[in-house]
Amino acid sequence: MSPSEVRAAVSNGIPPPAVLDLPYPDKPEVITANVLKLTELAPNPRVKLIFSNLISKLHEFVAETNITTDEWMSTIDFLTRTGQTCTPLRQEFILLSDVLGVSALVDALNNPPVANATESSVLGPFFTEDAPDVPLGGSIASEGKGEYMYVEGRVLASSGKPVPGAVIETWETDDKGYYDTQYTERPAPDCRGRLRTDEEGKFGYRAIVPVAYPIPGDGPVGELLLTLGRHNIRPNHLHVMIDAPGFRKLTTSLYPEGDAFLSSDAVFGVKRSLVVKLTEVDDEAEARKRGFQKGTKFKLLRHDFIILTVEESAAARAERIGASSA
């Protein structure tokens, strides 16, 4: 094979560190110490902090559990297959982060509860950027996707003032427990939409009653849950993301009460304040007034969302960090 046929690695141009006295890594503890010394060379202080902690904890884990070579190679294989499972419409790494509780932990640390503000929840792996625009009172779901539900409420600032023009992204599964991206054929986005609040901060749209569903179990994350003896079910929920100028983007979900999986959500996304009540309406005139095409019944979900300004959110996070480091 000639040199022209080789995909050669090249130096990144960084010379060996002249200021560090690095002993040969003849012992396990020297390996860890040397990696941490080299990490000190990182020019960005935040990067240095993150990787110093990551390396310390990872090496500590490996040493304390006496990981075998076979176990570590299995881990590498697992992570490799996790990456290979990802597509533009399926994010297996987000799913891995979710089932390990990391997504929920990062979300909780970055969005501490503030007074009466709506609490956040995990994004999940099924958000897409192509949701269609839906007028107020319109439907995010095509006909026949499930039991009718009407969602209405207001978007308010913490002061109680309405937030007009807030962009609401909302998505959910159909009555079979599938997101539109899970179907082999996806002619158009369904059970998802984008709308804006009116001048009084009000919104309303037609949807369907969400159902509990299994997160994908045909990939590496599904294998992991079986290994751990854990179920892969998420309780029924409606995703909502709200964005408005001057406010911190809110990513949350609403969880109708009564679901058996609320307290053991596979991705740890449920918070008590996000569990909501659905009211059953049996009135044909009211159903037609709200745009439902058939029958007399629908479920009504009324909920106001209270969002924080960028400054309020930053202050809450700074207060939490200060309290945790005290």
Residue 74: inside a domain: no
If asked whether residues 271 and 207 sit together in one domain, one would say yes
Q: 191's torsion region: left (phi>0), alpha (psi -120 to 50) or beta? A: left
Residue 260: inside a domain: yes
Describe the crossing of helices 92-99 and 102-110 by its angle, rounded to 10 degrees.
80
Question: What pTM was estimated for this model as a whole?
Answer: 0.87
Residue 72: inside a domain: no
Cα–Cα distance, 179 to 95 (Å, whole number): 14
Spell out the residues 6+ positions from residue 61 whose beta carbon is closer than 8 angstroms to its own.
67
Of 266, 44, 245, the closest CA to residue 164 belongs to 245
pLDDT tens profile 24-58: 999 999 999 999 999 999 999 999 999 999 999 99
Cα–Cα distance, 244 to 250 (Å, whole number): 9
pLDDT tens profile 261-318: 999 999 999 999 999 999 999 999 999 999 999 999 999 999 999 999 999 999 998 9
If asked whether residues 31 and 100 sit together in one domain, one would say no
If asked whether residues 168 and 301 sit together in one domain, one would say yes
Q: For residue 215, give the CATH number of its domain.
A: 2.60.130.10
Cα–Cα distance, 179 to 151 (Å, whole number): 19
pLDDT of amino acid 43: 95
pLDDT tens profile 56-110: 999 999 999 999 999 999 999 999 999 999 998 889 999 999 999 999 999 999 9
Q: 295's torsion region: left (phi>0), alpha (psi -120 to 50) or beta? A: left
If asked whether residues 105 and 213 sit together in one domain, one would say yes
If asked whether residues 37 and 105 sit together in one domain, one would say no
Residue 178: inside a domain: yes
Place of tokens 């939409």: 193
Domain that holds residue 174: 93-325
pLDDT of amino acid 321: 86
Q: What is the count of structural domains for the chain?
A: 2
If asked whether residues 52 and 111 sit together in one domain, one would say no
